[in-house]
Amino acid sequence: MSRAETDPTRRHPPTGHRPRSGVAGCAVRTAADARAVVTEALARHSAAGGRLLGDACLAVTELVTNAIRHAGGVTGFAARASEGGSVLTIEIEDACDAHPRGDRANLQDPTLLGGRGWPLVQLVATEWEIHPLPGGGKRIRVVLTA
């Protein structure tokens, strides 16, 4: 698991913001949109259900929610399944340079109102990477396996 270092300056995308790097399409505006993309990617490879789909839906829900809440929205999104659908790679971009935060200990604290999203993603993912984008913002790449 690797993480690229970036400046933790918070930035919001200007009105009419477009993806900076060309990650496939940004029709994803909501967590439901992302879940539909992931479900379709896995269905194309006969992996329409099971733990991988559940973990992937959880991960994209948290990633998209974080992008909306902390970075002004998703600016790029892609989901690709391997042949056979045993590996799913998700990439999400936003306009905020800051990395997601959260400690896995947050998962055990029922009194917290937030702070569980990134730890949940780390819990279900096999690997993850965070890379700065040339014009600002970041790309988070998450790999999940069946």
Give the pLDDT score at 13. Answer: 38
Contact 121, 62 (CB under 8 A): yes
Question: Band of the pLDDT at 137, cuts 50, 70, 90?
Answer: very high
- Summarised one tens digit per residue, pLDDT across range 58-91 is 999 999 999 999 999 999 999 999 988 899 999 9
Give the pLDDT score at 125. Answer: 96
- The larger pLDDT score, comparing residue 110 to residue 2, is at 110
Residue showing tokens 């505006």: 29
Question: Band of the pLDDT at 144, cuts 50, 70, 90?
Answer: very high
Q: How far is CA 71 from CA 47, 54, 74, 92, 118, in A?
A: 32, 25, 8, 12, 14
- Summarised one tens digit per residue, pLDDT across range 4-62 is 333 333 333 333 333 344 344 568 999 999 999 999 999 988 766 789 999 999 999 99
Rounded to the nearest 10 degrees, what angle do helices 50-71 and 117-124 cross at? 150
pTM of the model: 0.78
Give the pLDDT score at 38. Answer: 94
Q: Which two tokens stand for residue 39?
A: 């479900």
